[in-house]
Amino acid sequence: MTDPAIRPPIMPESLAPDLFVRDRQRRTRLTALIVACALFMQNLDSTVIATALPTMARDFGVDPVRMNVALTSYLLSLAVFIPASGWMADRFGARTVFRAAIAVFTVGSVLCGRADSLPFLVLARILQGVGGAMMVPVGRLVLLRSVQKSELVAAMAWLSMPALIGPIVGPPLGGFIVTYVSWRWVFDINVPIGLLGITLVTLYVEDVRDLSRSKLDGWGLVLSAIALAATMVGLETAGRGIVDSGLTAVLLGIGVMAGLGYWRHARHHPAPLLDLSLFRIPTFFVSVVAGTLFRIGVGAVPFLLPLMFQIGFGKSAVESGLITFASSAGAIVMKPAAMGALRRFGFRDTLLVNTVISAAFLGVCAAFRPAWPIAAIYLCLLGGGFFRSLQFTAYNAVAYADIPRERMSAATSLFSTIQQVSLTLGVTIGAAVLELSMRAQGHENPGLLDFSVGFVVVALISLSAAPINLMMPRNAAQEMSGHARAADRQSNIA
């Protein structure tokens, strides 16, 4: 045994740079993979349930189009509770909150599997959303606080790789479960994943916290919750005959007033729950605004695509799942190439061109028909997923490029809240356009033309993000992308 008195001293970073860098990269990958466990569970859940919606609608005796509330109730719950996630992590420690969030999400999943009506399912999905609201942003915050900015794109790629397995496995797995077992098992499969996540968090995640922000912005939480909930429910019911139009107008009015109230409150509060002053940072502003428009379009896909294949094409849940997984397979193929694209073209140019390409692939879905060769549909979905993945990686990374480390918690809360709102809007707008098209054409059930209208509308919304990317400087986040170093090498060669 080595005598402690003569044990060699630990080499500082300056004496062992390679060893230090390798150790830091290893810890970054490990943290990213653990956080990705939570993302895997959430993404698996959302893609599995999308495939199961038509079957669940038959069991509950409701219109399949109305089943979108099972998606939007979860996303709405995320949007309402995410603003408090940063404060919770700072106050109680990231590991404690992360672990508790996974537990709540898992319990909510068990209750979803026991649902015997749509209202019961919606309530259970809301509980799931409470867990998800703390789970994903707190996990992302742990990662942001443990990596260097030059490693952030690579860390986001490591974070996304396992998380993308969920959407790849989800559709065929959901189709298999629904066809051969029971849709209730699509929720029960979260239990072993949740238990594994809790174990890994307990063993390996550091309990990082920042006690400088010790008081919760209570009024901010109330006002933001009312604004988000009232606005989203109002948009969900607008023009669809679900409730009286007067009630919809009241909800939208309450949402607008609460939003204005929060804006006024945030201007005078020293530490607002959602720090709107972050929008003064150009990279954050463009990432949020352009990213929101892009996500609204993409957010409709998990709702529209399975319904189109099962109702419009007449395919089974298993056949639908085996087709829709191609989009996520394309996303995971892109991840290794994302860093190379950003290094060569930079964030601004990559986001600008890629928005147009991604929107075009989304628009092609409007032309899908049963007569199409299945290989052609696979290629379109694979290509769309490939380019959308690059877009999400770039937006998720550049949002934090110029954020000071002490404001990472606030930036994560605001970014995650708006991200979830945009995905909720995607499902809501997709369902609303589908129903409005059905009414205009006198259809009792959605037809292929109705789905085409839906895909065209959401593709145009995604495309509208393109000019906003021009507001970002051409040299934005060069340290993160490595674009400047690549340009220097090219000039030296020339």
Helix (H) or strand (E) holding 107: helix 94-113
* Model pLDDT, residue 264: 92
The 3-state DSSP class for residue 283 equals helix
DSSP state of 189: T
| Cβ proximity of 300 and 426 under 8 Å | yes
CATH architecture of 25-207+273-486: Up-down Bundle (1.20)
| Nearest residue to 461 (alpha-carbon basis) of 263, 237, 304, 243 | 304
Q: How many residues does the chain have?
A: 494
* Model pLDDT, residue 288: 92
Domain boundaries, the chain: 25-207+273-486, 217-272
The 3-state DSSP class for residue 240 equals coil
Tell me: the pLDDT tens digits for 298-355? 888 877 888 898 888 888 877 887 787 777 666 666 666 667 777 788 888 889 999 9
Beta-carbon-side half-sphere exposure of residue 418 (alpha carbons within 13 Å): 24
Rounded to the nearest 5°, which phi and psi values hold at 107? Answer: -60, -45
Alpha carbon 12 to chain centroid, angstroms: 39
Q: CA 299, CA 423: separation in Å to the nearest integer?
A: 5
Please list the helix, strand and coil fractions of the chain in percent, rounded to the nearest 5, in that order. 80, 0, 20
Which residues in the chain come in under a pLDDT of 50? 1-16, 486-494
* Model pLDDT, residue 242: 62
* Model pLDDT, residue 260: 94
Q: Using DSSP, how many helices (H) and how many strands (E) does the chain show?
A: 18, 0
* Model pLDDT, residue 1: 41
In this structure, the number of other CB atoms found within 10 A of the CB of residue 7 comes to 8
* Model pLDDT, residue 347: 83
Residue labelled with tokens 């995905």 = 423
| Nearest residue to 142 (alpha-carbon basis) of 159, 130, 129 | 159
Beta-carbon-side half-sphere exposure of residue 479 (alpha carbons within 13 Å): 8
* Model pLDDT, residue 8: 42
| Cβ proximity of 278 and 400 under 8 Å | no
